[in-house]
Amino acid sequence: MSPSIWLLKTEPNEFSIDDLKARGKAGEPWDGIRNYQARNFLREMQKGDLAFIYHSACDVPAIAGLAVVQKSAYPDAAALDSSSKYYDEKSTPDNIRWSRVDVTFKTKFKQPLSLKQIKSEPVLADMKLVKSSRLSVSPVTQQEYEVIMALVN
C-alpha cells in the first residue's frame, strides 16, 4: 500500500524546514498539537507516510518541503510538564489527552509553493489547508500530492 500524505503546519520562527533538516536522522518529535481534529489525524499517521511541511504566520506562507513519518503516534509527554507551554492540566500520566509523532527531513523545495499559488491552482483550492486554515495537521489526497510535486519541480 502506498503511504498516506499529510500536511503539518509550523511557524518558521519557531521551527522551520531548515531546523528539521538540521536534526538529520534523529528527526523531531512533532508535539504541542492541542486540537482534537488535528490530533485525530496525527493518530492516523503511519511510519513511512509523507508529510508536507507548511510555513504559516510568516512573510510568505508556503509549503516548504517534505518530511517522513519516522514513528507513529505516541503520548505527548509535554502535556504533563507544567513548565512547558504545551502543558495541559487535564492530562494525567494514565491519560495523556494528546499525541505526537516523530518526523525526519526528506526534501526542502527549491521553490516553496506559496499559499497564493495553491489558491490559484483549481485542484489545490479545495485542500483542507485552504478550507480550514487553522487546522495544524491535515490529510492530503494523492492527486493533490502529485500536483504539488509537479509544481515544485
Which of 26, 36, 92, 142 lies at the binding interface for DNA (CB under 7 A)?
36
**43 lies in the site for DNA, by CB under 7 A:** no
Cβ proximity to DNA: between 34 and 71 the closer is: 34
Residue appearing with cell numbers 503539518: 8
Is position 56 an interface residue for DNA (rule: CB under 7 A)?
A: yes
CB crowding 19-49: b at 16 or more within 10 Å, else e:
ebbeeeeebbbbbbbbeeebbebbeebeeeb
**What's the one-letter identity of residue 6?**
W
User: Is residue 117 a contact residue for DNA (CB under 7 A)?
Assistant: no
**Does an H or E element contain 116, and which?**
helix 115-120
Q: Dihedral, CA atoms, 115, 118, 124, 127, nearest 10 degrees? A: 0
Q: Which is nearer to DNA, 110 or 134 (CB)?
A: 134
Q: How far is the CB of 122 from DNA (least distance, A)?
A: 16
Q: Give the total of residues touching DNA (CB under 7 A).
A: 17
Out of 136, 140, 145, 152, the only residue in the binding site for DNA (CB under 7 A) is 136
Distances (CA, A) of 147 to 101, 125, 151: 26, 12, 6
Amino acid of residue 49:
D
Which member of 15, 21, 23, 35 binds DNA (CB under 7 A)? 35
Q: Is residue 125 part of the contact set for DNA (CB under 7 A)?
A: no
Question: Which residues make up the interface to DNA (CB under 7 A)?
Answer: 9, 11, 35-37, 56-58, 61, 115-116, 119, 132-136
